[in-house]
């Protein structure tokens, strides 16, 4: 550590200078109040050392928020919660389908679609009154993994085959057709360049600005069940396997939680945290 400067070790091994403002911005984005931010920042500063991991900083800030506000803590850990929508990609596909439904689309998840040449297994087909979208979801459990240009090339070629078949269906003649890739991490620069050139839409954790996956989740308040601290890893997995991906859907599935072995006290605590996170009180 030189001149009192603290360098932080990122997940990919890079070392960057600790930036207090970046942490403050992340805490504000979570909805944390000024006193909560001050307390979390003070807690982080008390354990800072040169070479500290970003994961350690996250854990410390989250622990501080959790003591004061489940709503802020849950939103702050949203990115990590998205990484827990695994190990298969199906819960992420279902989550993406819910995001489209929240924006007024009718969706089908995990279906076989006949293209002009061959059949395709499509993650999500989303349709409203003016457009139909073929959505391919790329889930990664490691935040450092990017979807590269090979992914964009492959999915665009599939979309061309599917859209050609759609164009031949008279009942779809009034619709515009779009191809889209949604990922919980990021895209490589060449993937974004290619997609822009051919008109393939991309949505990643923080792209495009103002309409990214994070932006859409924040606007809708559609937090995944993996955001809840009251649930163990195995309990989260059980809910995902039961087809429940959104916190806001939990109050409708008390019976499912009981079948999964949750006692009444556990259910009440989970629903209490859900209410604090979503802002809905039952």
pLDDT digits (tens, 9 = 90+) for 22-73: 888 878 766 678 898 999 999 999 999 999 988 788 778 878 887 777 666 6
Cβ atoms within 10 Å of 82's Cβ, excluding its own? 25
Which has the minimum average pLDDT: 44-53, 74-83, 222-231?
74-83
Q: Give the pLDDT confidence of 125-144 residue by residue, as tens digits.
A: 999 999 999 999 999 988 88
Helix (H, G, I), strand (E, B) or coil at 77: coil
Mean predicted confidence (pLDDT) in 82-93: 90
pLDDT at 154 over 70: yes
Report the candidate in 17, 14, 20 with the shortest Cα–Cα distance to residue 5. 17
Quote the CA–CA distance of 97 and 246 in Å, as a whole number. Answer: 11
**Which residue in this structure is represented by tokens 């854990």?**
59
Token pair of 104, please? 């007024």
pLDDT at 77 over 80: no
What are the backbone dihedrals phi and psi of residue 245, each rounded to the nearest 5 degrees, phi first? -115, -20
Give the burial string for 212-235 (b: 16+ CB within 10 Å, else e).
bbbbbbbeeebbbbbbbeebeeeb
Q: Identify whether the C-beta of residue 228 lies closer than 8 Å to the C-beta of residue 82.
A: no
Counting Cβ atoms within 10 Å, is residue 35 exposed (0-12), middle (13-18) or buried (19+)? Answer: exposed
**Which residue in this structure is represented by tokens 């009251």?**
230
Percent of the chain residues topping a pLDDT of 70: 93
Q: Give the pLDDT confidence of 246-269 residue by residue, as tens digits.
A: 998 999 999 999 999 999 999 988
pTM over 0.85: no
Quote the CA–CA distance of 71 and 227 in Å, as a whole number. Answer: 10
**3 to each of 10, 74, 146, how far by Cα in Å?**
21, 36, 35
- Return the bridge partners of 125, or none: 108, 134
Q: Identify whether the C-beta of residue 52 lies closer than 8 Å to the C-beta of residue 8.
A: yes
Quote the CA–CA distance of 103 and 18 in Å, as a whole number. Answer: 38
Q: Identify whether the C-beta of residue 191 lies closer than 8 Å to the C-beta of residue 147.
A: yes
- Share the mean pLDDT of the chain: 90
pLDDT band at 282, cuts 50/70/90?
Answer: very low
Report the topology of domain 90-220: Trna Endonuclease; Chain: A, domain 1 (3.40.1350)
Counting Cβ atoms within 10 Å, is residue 93 exposed (0-12), middle (13-18) or buried (19+)? Answer: buried
């Amino acid at each position: 550590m030189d001149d009192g400067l603290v360098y932080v070790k990122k997940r990919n091994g890079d070392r960057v200078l600790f930036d207090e403002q970046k942490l403050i911005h992340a805490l504000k984005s979570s909805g944390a109040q000024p006193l909560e931010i001050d307390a979390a920042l003070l807690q982080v500063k008390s354990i800072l050392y040169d070479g500290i991991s970003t994961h350690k900083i996250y854990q410390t800030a989250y622990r501080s928020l959790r003591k004061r506000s489940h709503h802020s803590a849950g939103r702050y850990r949203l990115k990590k919660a998205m990484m827990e929508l695994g190990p298969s990609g199906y819960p992420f596909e279902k989550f993406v389908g819910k995001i489209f439904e929240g924006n007024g689309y009718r969706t089908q998840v995990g279906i076989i679609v006949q293209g002009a040449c061959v059949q395709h297994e499509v993650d999500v087909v989303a349709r409203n009154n003016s457009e139909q979208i073929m959505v391919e979801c790329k889930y990664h459990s490691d935040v450092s993994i990017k979807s590269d240009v090979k992914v964009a090339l492959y999915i665009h070629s599939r979309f061309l085959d599917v859209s050609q078949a759609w164009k031949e269906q008279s009942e779809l003649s009034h619709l515009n057709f779009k191809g889209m890739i949604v990922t919980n991490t990021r895209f490589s620069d060449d993937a974004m360049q290619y997609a822009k050139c051919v008109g393939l839409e991309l949505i990643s954790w923080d792209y495009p600005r103002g309409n990214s996956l994070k932006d859409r989740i924040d606007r809708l308040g559609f937090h995944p069940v993996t955001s809840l601290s009251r649930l163990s890893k195995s309990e989260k997995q059980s809910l995902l396997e039961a087809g429940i991906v959104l916190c806001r859907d939990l109050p409708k599935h008390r019976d499912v939680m009981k079948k999964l072995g949750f006692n009444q006290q556990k259910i009440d605590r989970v629903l209490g945290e859900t209410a604090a996170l979503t802002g809905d009180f039952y």
